[in-house]
Chain A
Amino acid sequence: MKKEDSAPTLAARRAFLAKLGGAATCAGAALGAATLGVVPRAAAKPEVTPDAASFPTKDYDWTKHQWGFGVDATKCIGCLRCVEACKRENDVPANAHQFRTWVERYVHVEGDAQVHIDSQQDPVNIEASGSEKTFRFANRYKDAKVDKAFFVPKLCNHCTHPACVQVCPTGATYRTKDGVVLIDETYCIGCRYCVQACPYGARYFNEEKGVADKCTWCYHRITKGLQPACVEVCPVGARMFGDQNDKQSRISLFIRNSRVQVLRPESGNAPNVFYVGIDKEVN
């Protein structure tokens, strides 16, 4: 009795599938018919592009630029004004562990084969600054016999072949036509694949917003004809920014006239941040 109740007969099953198939076909046909009126709109999408002459804003055309960034580590004094400016300009969480840009210190102490590397998030440096919201390098090597020491500002390399963009499952991160890698916060699902994929550790996860975040070369500034905030505040000109399309721009001259190098060239990402004055320990 029970068995007969629960087991549908072959005929009933066929009838059900037939109905389902019919329903699907009808739905498909209905949708198709409905789309006919709309499909032209979808097809016309590229035709909206004529105003791309001034995309993304009316005063700025991204096809006319190819941005690049230069770092002269021989000039950097490790004052960390860039880090502070970046935090405030870009609303980066006010703590000592999440950064869009940071500065590393490399110290070779006499008789010690190991290079000493620290950045502003080292506990000793946090203590010297007195708070997690201000930044300062502690003078911890003042009594050491230092063979060589230098500071290296770091930031997103805005690679030509960015690994982070390749792994993003939602199209939330992409490379613009003017050579800047950006994040669309409304499309980021917070999976952090990109944080893992970046060979430079340039991305961090912003818990407040639930999205990955990183340097944009201050896209809102450069599209208004200004310099990124870190370049603007650098008191010694260790950071420089400009258009690689303009052969006389500061960045073009820097790349052309100095022996520049990029970080981890072997990764194949083709970075667009060019360094001078760093040694083999920096990567």
Chain B
Amino acid sequence: MPKHIVRLITLLVTLLAVAAIAKPFLTVDSFYRFGHYRADSVTEIADKELVYQTPRYCHGCHTERRAQWSAGSHKTVICEVCHGPAQGHPQNGKLAIPTDTVKLCTLCHEAMPGRPATQPQIQVAQHSGGQQCNVCHNPHSPKISTAAAKVTGNAAAGKDSAAACSGCHGADGNSPNDTWPNLAGQNAAYLARILAAYKSGDQNDAAMTPLAQALSDTEIQNLAAYYAGLNCKASTGGKPVGDAAAGEALAANCVACHGPAGRGSNPAWPKLAAQKPGYLVNVLKAFKAGLRKDPMMAGAAKSLSDTDIANLAAYYAAQSCQSTK
């Protein structure tokens, strides 16, 4: 073999040997441990810290919210979807409480082609008159139970039981007194629900509780049917202290449930038109103070000042309870 070829081969072999010997020194230890990659990088990636902490983390402290949330229809939406990731909370401060709930809620609930029919969806423009979602809906348990129980009472039988009520609520269901509510023409399902609540103790009133406890379920049904069938009259109480015009602006927030001018057609909720202003003021204050318990009304009354309450009462008292149609 020619000399120069031998030398070239020697040189090549030497270089290859150098490369082969140098490789282990230049290759990170964990490379090739499982394959053509650095095994340590798997551990590094696995050791990254969590940003989203899962509901279990939140529930360690927020037990009250948890109870509400886990019983409601939003139980599949974890805390961090709306409040943001909990990494660093509470050490680094509070998590955001969303302020623009319309923007937030419509991410999922705006009616849109492509959303499955099982998803509750709303036409944003027609749903709330621009008010925030959390005025009526509790974001942690948003479903409003609108299923009003059907009232099957006998109005004629109810009339006999109603004798005991007429002292306060008037012989024709129109209260002579500013602090007691008119019952005539009220929604039957609402009347039955409230009477049952007094009976069960869910709602308390010095006068009403013992009276309701004396009633049977049938009597409650009969009474509800009787009063719902009576004709309401325009409020005749003293001049309300509030400003009805200012109340009308506030009442825009109530329309969704109580209907235009308080003549709501949903039997689950009370009509407010021509109701006694003193009664309305008392009830709203009771909701605000938590004496009367209703998640929706608590939210709605929370932000009302005493003046707002007086104005709302004045507005509703001035409305006609007869449909204008």
A binds B: yes
Interface string of A74-111 (1 = CB under 8 A from B): 11111111000100111000000000000001110000
A105 B114 Cβ-Cβ under 8 A:
yes
A171 B114 Cβ-Cβ under 8 A:
no
A28 to chain B, nearest CB (A): 5
- CB-contact partner of B50 in A48, A221, A233, under 8 A: A221
Tell me the bound Cα distance from A120 to B42 in angstroms. Answer: 31
Is A214 interfacial (CB-CB < 8 Å)? no
**Which residues of B lie under 8 Å from residue A232 when comparing CB positions?**
52, 54, 78, 80
B45 to chain A, nearest CB (A): 5
Tell me the bound Cα distance from A185 to B31 in angstroms. Answer: 14
Interface string of B38-72 (1 = CB under 8 A from A): 11011101111111101000000000000000000
A184 B41 Cβ-Cβ under 8 A:
yes
Is A123 interfacial (CB-CB < 8 Å)? no
Tell me the bound Cα distance from A156 to B39 in angstroms. Answer: 21
Contact A88:B85 (CB < 8 A) given known A17-B7, A219-B46, A224-B50: yes
B52 A89 Cβ-Cβ under 8 A:
yes
**Which residues of B lie under 8 Å from residue A46 when comparing CB positions?**
33
Contact A216:B81 (CB < 8 A) given known A17-B7, A24-B11, A149-B114: no
A117-171 contacts to B, CB under 8 A, are 136-137, 139, 141-142, 144, 146, 149-151, 171
| Best-surrounded residue of B76, B81, B112 (most CB of chain A within 10 A) | B112
Is B291 interfacial (CB-CB < 8 Å)? no
B108 A144 Cβ-Cβ under 8 A:
no
The interface-forming segment of A52-60, A190-198, A240-248, A263-271 is A52-60
The interface-forming segment of A1-9, A174-182, A200-208 is A174-182
By secondary structure, the A interface counts as mixed
Closest to A149 in B: B114
Tell me the bound Cα distance from A9 to B42 in angstroms. Answer: 59
B18 A28 Cβ-Cβ under 8 A:
yes
Tell me the bound Cα distance from A88 to B80 in angstroms. Answer: 11
A174 B113 Cβ-Cβ under 8 A:
no
Closest to A87 in B: B51
Interface residue count on the B side (C-beta < 8 Å): 51
**Which residues of B lie under 8 Å from residue A146 when comparing CB positions?**
113-114
B53 to chain A, nearest CB (A): 9
Is B166 interfacial (CB-CB < 8 Å)? no
- CB-contact partner of A236 in B7, B111, B119, under 8 A: B119
A80 B107 Cβ-Cβ under 8 A:
yes
**Which residues of A lie under 8 Å from residue B85 when comparing CB positions?**
85, 88-89
> How many inter-chain residue pairs (CB < 8 Å) link A and B?
157
Closest to B80 in A: A233
B29 A235 Cβ-Cβ under 8 A:
no
**Which residues of A lie under 8 Å from residue B74 when comparing CB positions?**
235
Is A229 interfacial (CB-CB < 8 Å)? yes
Is A49 interfacial (CB-CB < 8 Å)? yes
Tell me the bound Cα distance from A46 to B24 in angstroms. Answer: 14
B119 A77 Cβ-Cβ under 8 A:
yes
Tell me the bound Cα distance from A104 to B56 in angstroms. Answer: 31
Interface string of B68-108 (1 = CB under 8 A from A): 00000010111011001100000000000000000000011
- CB-contact partner of B42 in A24, A42, A182, A185, under 8 A: A182
Is B325 interfacial (CB-CB < 8 Å)? no
Contact A56:B43 (CB < 8 A) given known A88-B85, A136-B107: yes
B29 A45 Cβ-Cβ under 8 A:
yes
**Which residues of A lie under 8 Å from residue B110 when comparing CB positions?**
139
A233 B81 Cβ-Cβ under 8 A:
yes
A31 B81 Cβ-Cβ under 8 A:
no
Closest to B14 in A: A24
Tell me the bound Cα distance from A45 to B45 in angstroms. Answer: 22
B3 to chain A, nearest CB (A): 9
Contact A88:B51 (CB < 8 A) given known A77-B115, A79-B108, A139-B112: yes
Is B207 interfacial (CB-CB < 8 Å)? no
Contact A229:B14 (CB < 8 A) given known A55-B42, A56-B43: no
B99 to chain A, nearest CB (A): 14
B77 A235 Cβ-Cβ under 8 A:
yes
Contact A45:B33 (CB < 8 A) given known A79-B108, A89-B85: yes
A98 to chain B, nearest CB (A): 17
Is A237 interfacial (CB-CB < 8 Å)? yes
4 interchain residue pairs of minimum CB distance: A149-B114, A220-B48, A184-B41, A174-B37
- Other A-B pairs, 10, CB within 8 Å; known A28-B14, A232-B80, A233-B78: A17-B7, A32-B21, A77-B116, A142-B112, A171-B37, A173-B37, A184-B38, A187-B38, A226-B54, A232-B78
